[in-house]
Chains A and B, each alone.
Chain A
Amino acid sequence: MIPKRTFDAVIIGGGGAGLRAALQLSQANLKVALLSKVFPTRSHTVSAQGGITAALANVSEDNWHWHMYDTVKGSDYLGDQDAIEFMCRNALPAVYELEHMGLPFSRLDNGKIYQRPFGGQSKNYGGEQAIRTCAAADRTGHALLHTLYQRNIAARTQFFDEFFALDLVRDEEGYVLGVVALEIETGEPCLFESRATLLATGGACRIFRHSTNAHINTGDGLGMVLRAGLPLEDMEFWQFHPTGIPEVGSLISEGVRGEGGYLVNKDGEKFMKRYAPNALDLASRDVVARSIAQEIRAGRGCGEHGDYVHLKIEHLGAEKIKARLPGIRELSMQFAGADPITDPIPVTPTAHYMMGGIPSNMHGQVVAPVRTGPEEAVPGLYAVGECACVSVHGANRLGGNSLLDLVVFGRAAGQHMIEYLRENPFPRTLPEEQVDKALARLARWEKSKGSETVAGLRVEMQKIMQDHCGVYRTEALLKEGLELLDKVEARLPDAALSDQSKMFNTARLEALELENLTGHRPGYPGFRPGPHGKPRRPYPGRPSQAGRRPVAAPYPVFQGKRHPGLQAGAAEAADGGDLPAEGEDLLMMNPDRIVSIRVPPFVKPPSGDEGGQGGFFHAPVWQLLSNPPQPPFTKGGRTVRVQS
């Protein structure tokens, strides 16, 4: 048996969400361990730039209902409106709390928190542009992450830095009882026993070749959840940020456009006026990304290969750029060789955010069709942050809502865990065979022999995802991509490590990360019938053979929670059936459901342009959007209370 450490709660991931939850638990005097595969301030939250959205009304009139409306609309009406209400309502106390913690927000002349306009923000339910995103220059994520880490130092949270979580330990009755982790420095595994476990492992955009994400964003929590026999949700929704630096992928914040920056094509035309005549450059991210993609496809891109457009901010003046956008200027000079004070910044849509993830509710509990109900909480398991799908972002996240998601749901999850721990005071018997299963992951790479390399397979996979699941998707392209992904995955068992040392073996980590990214699960139940042998809820679009995955999503996809309509045909498709043929069952395999970038209704593709070809127009949503519901509005039978 490997060494064991016992805690009340274990948190996996040291980004904003994990740190916020840890703080809540530590302040309640619980024994909490925070595992992170990097030192916490190296987490990807640090890269967030523009800000955190809350209707503080410091600059312009505002109220959280408007924020909620924008978020619902921005999500393409696919978000959970109860959760969105919870988030937007709690945004104000959450931001004030961060300020009290010491976060160095930029300030207005009257001493209040500085706010800037962001895409998709409106006053009065779709009216003029609102100014809602609270910022610390253009390094809000850095400020937030460091502040939360500092508060955790004060609260004496127990950190286990550079521990890589291998797998969850889940018993016969479905309780999650801890996690097996690898101490990276020594290379020795260790069991963390706890009554409650929180996954805050972040996104997985490293599945794409060009991404704004850090190298560490490899969806480790997703892999763990799949191997524990639980599903994922909305995995077809990947957000492409309109403005990433070409090739490198570094993010150029939406705040740049919020401060007054605008996009131009090679002719110097401010093309956004053709696509979004009202919101212009501050249309929501999906719209702007798609507009840029359309310009590039129409041959109006800049540069030798015409594969990017220009973002101009010279007119703001050196002083404002240095005060409000210093980080952007640094990035642009370092990675694009352009000083935005004098030159335009080259930008192109870049994979940025995973809207889908581990299905969870607004208390952070992981929910799945574990026994009889469609959304039962998995006892002892929580998920927050980008790895979770609450879903407050639906099919498209608004800028500034991700940092908000972290702190609001991080806090809520911490709070709920405290209650859960109170109600479940006694440890349960730990199933040792589960621990052995987790250790098998390590054994697989020890003394491995084969002809494939981890790096080679990773690069191939990233290229396939980039070419087949990008901004423009067609069913044929996706199917082809899926086949190619299958081929790559089939070669994974042949991959071997030449470096089989133990101490700080980063090659081994990359292999384990690749397994998480591909959802590869040798010897695990995956999304097969659960531990009791009862058939699980069917996952729409799920192919029958193990190892095959739904189109565009290398994971079994759970679409139960937010899309009641989509469940209609689900029962029939239970365990049989391959990918439904085209048009066979739109509910099951509607091509629209695999397109995260879409054109809003008021956008007409320029005539004579083949622009509409790759994008799918979702008729029901189309109609819904051209006639936006007025509050109080409902979705899936739920009425949302709107108070004034």
Chain B
Amino acid sequence: MKFRIYRYDPESGAAPRMQDYDIDFDPRGKKVLDALIAIKDTLDESLSFRRSCREGVCGSDGVNVNGTNVLACITALEGLKEPITIRPLPRLGVIRDLIVDMAQFYQHYRAVKPYLINLDPEPENERLQTPEDRAELDGLWECILCGCCTTSCPSFWWNPDKFLGPAALLQGYRFIADTRDQATNERLDYLEDPYRLFRCHGIMNCVEVCPKGLNPTEAVGKIKSLLVKRAL
């Protein structure tokens, strides 16, 4: 199989380049990550990428394959056009090869206060929540913070420092939507900003690429309608 992989060695001082690999590899049932590991193990030890769970739940190996942001570990090799071109996630700084600097991404995540705020005394047992209220959280809490959505968003490409991006906004809404959370107003105050939230123009690249099938655009829409309701 033929691969074209983005290479950047921060120590050499050389400019990034695309390197071709040709590896004898049976793609049946295998994923892009399997091929990357095979290349690293047999052809080129210096090829660097992150990986952990290899089953699409940890979010380590977000990369851009043939122009689309994906998780390497759950993207089937079969059906991909050769040479399979693998690049790091767009718009983030590249540390080395396919490894990007996620600091900005995590900073936006922390900015939405991604934790439950409830100042009532804790009950002896669990706080009650109806299955319907709990269902509001489905499609929100499953986010694995892989960064595929945020780095596919043109608004984020333009304003990576100011626009929070789909992943952080999805997490922001996850706590707004939680009936146990009491800080909805503060959360909305923070998001009511020309950049943080309103740079989302409904391009929906995030929905297109999310490996978990989540819909950040819908969450953003819900935040916006809450802001409208609040203003009326």
Query: CB-CB < 8 A to A580: which residues of B?
Result: none
Question: Taking the complex as formed, is A96 at the interface, i.e. its CB lies under 8 A from any CB of chain B?
Answer: yes
Within 8 A of B (CB), among A75-98: 95-96
Q: Is the beta-carbon distance between A96 and B126 smaller than 8 angstroms?
A: yes
Within 8 A of A (CB), among B101-125: 102, 106, 110, 113-116, 118, 122-125
Q: Which residue of B lies closest to A161 (CB)?
A: B106
Q: Is the beta-carbon distance between A153 and B51 smaller than 8 angstroms?
A: no
Within 8 A of A (CB), among B37-92: 40-42, 45-46, 48-60, 74, 76
Which stretch of B17-25, B136-144, B194-202 is in the interface?
B136-144
Taking a contact as CB atoms closer than 8 A, the residue among B45, B46, B76, B145 that contacts A41 in the complex is: B145
Question: Taking the complex as formed, is A536 at the interface, i.e. its CB lies under 8 A from any CB of chain B?
Answer: no
Q: Is the beta-carbon distance between B53 and A112 smaller than 8 angstroms?
A: no
Question: Taking the complex as formed, is B10 at the interface, i.e. its CB lies under 8 A from any CB of chain A?
Answer: yes
The answer to whether A100 and B74 touch (CB under 8 A), given A153-B114, A497-B45, is: no
Question: Taking the complex as formed, is A467 at the interface, i.e. its CB lies under 8 A from any CB of chain B?
Answer: no
Question: Taking the complex as formed, is B127 at the interface, i.e. its CB lies under 8 A from any CB of chain A?
Answer: yes
Question: Taking the complex as formed, is A583 at the interface, i.e. its CB lies under 8 A from any CB of chain B?
Answer: no
For this complex, 26 residue pairs linking A to B, each with C-beta atoms less than 8 Å apart, are A38-B50, A41-B59, A44-B53, A44-B58, A46-B58, A96-B125, A102-B178, A102-B180, A107-B130, A108-B131, A136-B141, A139-B57, A143-B141, A146-B141, A215-B51, A248-B54, A327-B57, A330-B56, A334-B56, A454-B45, A497-B45, A499-B45, A501-B11, A501-B46, A504-B95, A507-B45
Q: Is the beta-carbon distance between A106 and B134 smaller than 8 angstroms?
A: yes
Given A56-B126, A453-B45, 6 additional A-B pairs, CB 8 A? A39-B60, A39-B145, A41-B58, A47-B57, A104-B134, A503-B11
Question: Taking the complex as formed, is A111 at the interface, i.e. its CB lies under 8 A from any CB of chain B?
Answer: yes
Q: Which residue of B lies closest to A98 (CB)?
A: B126
Q: Is the beta-carbon distance between A499 and B59 smaller than 8 angstroms?
A: no
Question: Taking the complex as formed, is B7 at the interface, i.e. its CB lies under 8 A from any CB of chain A?
Answer: no
Question: Taking the complex as formed, is B129 at the interface, i.e. its CB lies under 8 A from any CB of chain A?
Answer: yes
Question: Taking the complex as formed, is A335 at the interface, i.e. its CB lies under 8 A from any CB of chain B?
Answer: yes
Task: Give A459 to B11 CA distance when docked, in angstroms.
Answer: 30
Task: Give A459 to B48 CA distance when docked, in angstroms.
Answer: 19
Q: Is the beta-carbon distance between B60 and A42 smaller than 8 angstroms?
A: yes
Question: Taking the complex as formed, is A502 at the interface, i.e. its CB lies under 8 A from any CB of chain B?
Answer: yes
Q: Is the beta-carbon distance between A46 and B57 smaller than 8 angstroms?
A: yes
Q: Is the beta-carbon distance between A153 and B115 smaller than 8 angstroms?
A: yes
Question: Taking the complex as formed, is A455 at the interface, i.e. its CB lies under 8 A from any CB of chain B?
Answer: yes
Query: CB-CB < 8 A to B60: which residues of A?
Result: 38-39, 42
The answer to whether A214 and B58 touch (CB under 8 A), given A38-B50, A501-B46, A504-B95, is: yes
Q: Residue-by-residue, is B145-163 near A (CB-CB < 8 Å gives 1, otherwise 0)?
A: 1000000000000000000
Interface of B is mostly: loop
Q: Is the beta-carbon distance between B145 and A455 smaller than 8 angstroms?
A: no
Residue of A327, A454, A505, A506 contacting most chain B CB atoms (<10 Å)? A506
Residue of B53, B59, B125, B175 contacting most chain A CB atoms (<10 Å)? B53
Task: Give A104 to B174 CA distance when docked, in angstroms.
Answer: 10
Task: Give A330 to B214 CA distance when docked, in angstroms.
Answer: 13
The 8 residue pairs across chains A and B that have the minimum distance between CB atoms: A102-B116, A111-B128, A455-B41, A499-B46, A150-B115, A42-B58, A99-B126, A504-B96
Query: CB-CB < 8 A to A456: which residues of B?
Result: 41
* A455 CB, min distance to chain B CBs, angstroms: 4
Task: Give A499 to B46 CA distance when docked, in angstroms.
Answer: 5
Task: Give A153 to B109 CA distance when docked, in angstroms.
Answer: 10
Q: Is the beta-carbon distance between A101 and B126 smaller than 8 angstroms?
A: no
> B residues engaging A (CB < 8 A)?
9-11, 29, 40-42, 45-46, 48-60, 74, 76, 95-96, 99, 102, 106, 110, 113-116, 118, 122-131, 133-134, 137-138, 141-142, 144-145, 175, 178, 180-181
Task: Give A507 to B47 CA distance when docked, in angstroms.
Answer: 8
Taking a contact as CB atoms closer than 8 A, the residue among A99, A335, A453 that contacts B127 in the complex is: A99
Query: CB-CB < 8 A to B138: which residues of A?
Result: 137
Residue of B50, B52, B145 contacting most chain A CB atoms (<10 Å)? B52
Task: Give A112 to B130 CA distance when docked, in angstroms.
Answer: 8
Task: Give A455 to B134 CA distance when docked, in angstroms.
Answer: 45
Task: Give A110 to B129 CA distance when docked, in angstroms.
Answer: 8
Query: CB-CB < 8 A to A407: which residues of B?
Result: none
Q: Is the beta-carbon distance between A112 and B115 smaller than 8 angstroms?
A: no
Question: Taking the complex as formed, is A113 at the interface, i.e. its CB lies under 8 A from any CB of chain B?
Answer: yes
Q: Is the beta-carbon distance between A39 and B102 smaller than 8 angstroms?
A: yes
Taking a contact as CB atoms closer than 8 A, the residue among A110, A151, A335, A453 that contacts B55 in the complex is: A335
Q: Is the beta-carbon distance between B144 and A142 smaller than 8 angstroms?
A: yes
Task: Give A334 to B34 CA distance when docked, in angstroms.
Answer: 14
Question: Taking the complex as formed, is A392 at the interface, i.e. its CB lies under 8 A from any CB of chain B?
Answer: no
Q: Residue-by-residue, is A482-511 near B (CB-CB < 8 Å gives 1, otherwise 0)?
A: 000000000000000111011111110000
* A371 CB, min distance to chain B CBs, angstroms: 39
The answer to whether A111 and B56 touch (CB under 8 A), given A96-B125, A101-B116, A337-B29, is: no
Task: Give A167 to B105 CA distance when docked, in angstroms.
Answer: 31
Q: Is the beta-carbon distance between B46 and A112 smaller than 8 angstroms?
A: no
Query: CB-CB < 8 A to B29: which residues of A?
Result: 247, 335, 337
Q: Is the beta-carbon distance between A498 and B52 smaller than 8 angstroms?
A: no
Q: Is the beta-carbon distance between A104 and B141 smaller than 8 angstroms?
A: yes
Query: CB-CB < 8 A to A99: which residues of B?
Result: 126-127
Task: Give A331 to B73 CA distance when docked, in angstroms.
Answer: 11
Query: CB-CB < 8 A to A327: which residues of B?
Result: 57
Task: Give A102 to B114 CA distance when docked, in angstroms.
Answer: 10
Q: Residue-by-residue, is A171-208 near B (CB-CB < 8 Å gives 1, otherwise 0)?
A: 00000000000000100000000000000000000000
Task: Give A137 to B124 CA distance when docked, in angstroms.
Answer: 24
Query: CB-CB < 8 A to B134: which residues of A?
Result: 104-107
The answer to whether A334 and B122 touch (CB under 8 A), given A106-B134, A111-B128, A151-B115, is: no
Task: Give A46 to B144 CA distance when docked, in angstroms.
Answer: 9
* A78 CB, min distance to chain B CBs, angstroms: 30
Q: Is the beta-carbon distance between B57 and A334 smaller than 8 angstroms?
A: no
Taking a contact as CB atoms closer than 8 A, the residue among A139, A151, A216, A251 that contacts B52 in the complex is: A216
Residue of B45, B51, B60, B142 contacting most chain A CB atoms (<10 Å)? B45
Q: Is the beta-carbon distance between A501 and B128 smaller than 8 angstroms?
A: no
Task: Give A111 to B50 CA distance when docked, in angstroms.
Answer: 40
Task: Give A456 to B113 CA distance when docked, in angstroms.
Answer: 45
Q: Is the beta-carbon distance between B42 and A455 smaller than 8 angstroms?
A: yes
Task: Give A503 to B95 CA distance when docked, in angstroms.
Answer: 8
Question: Taking the complex as formed, is A568 at the interface, i.e. its CB lies under 8 A from any CB of chain B?
Answer: no
Residue of B51, B74, B122, B142 contacting most chain A CB atoms (<10 Å)? B142
* B138 CB, min distance to chain A CBs, angstroms: 8
Question: Taking the complex as formed, is A319 at the interface, i.e. its CB lies under 8 A from any CB of chain B?
Answer: no
Taking a contact as CB atoms closer than 8 A, the residue among B42, B58, B74, B145 that contacts A334 in the complex is: B74
Task: Give A471 to B107 CA distance when docked, in angstroms.
Answer: 45
* B118 CB, min distance to chain A CBs, angstroms: 8
Query: CB-CB < 8 A to B41: which residues of A?
Result: 453, 455-456, 459
Query: CB-CB < 8 A to A443: which residues of B?
Result: none
Query: CB-CB < 8 A to A28: which residues of B?
Result: none
Q: Is the beta-carbon distance between A504 and B115 smaller than 8 angstroms?
A: no
The answer to whether A100 and B122 touch (CB under 8 A), given A46-B57, A151-B115, is: yes
Question: Taking the complex as formed, is A291 at the interface, i.e. its CB lies under 8 A from any CB of chain B?
Answer: no
Query: CB-CB < 8 A to A334: which residues of B?
Result: 55-56, 74, 76
Q: Which residue of A lies closest to B115 (CB)?
A: A150
Q: Is the beta-carbon distance between A104 and B55 smaller than 8 angstroms?
A: no
Task: Give A45 to B59 CA distance when docked, in angstroms.
Answer: 13
Question: Taking the complex as formed, is A584 at the interface, i.e. its CB lies under 8 A from any CB of chain B?
Answer: no
* A372 CB, min distance to chain B CBs, angstroms: 42
Q: Which residue of A lies closest to B145 (CB)?
A: A41
Task: Give A112 to B123 CA distance when docked, in angstroms.
Answer: 13
Q: Which residue of B lies closest to A333 (CB)?
A: B74
Q: Residue-by-residue, is A415-456 near B (CB-CB < 8 Å gives 1, otherwise 0)?
A: 000000000000000000000000000000000000001111
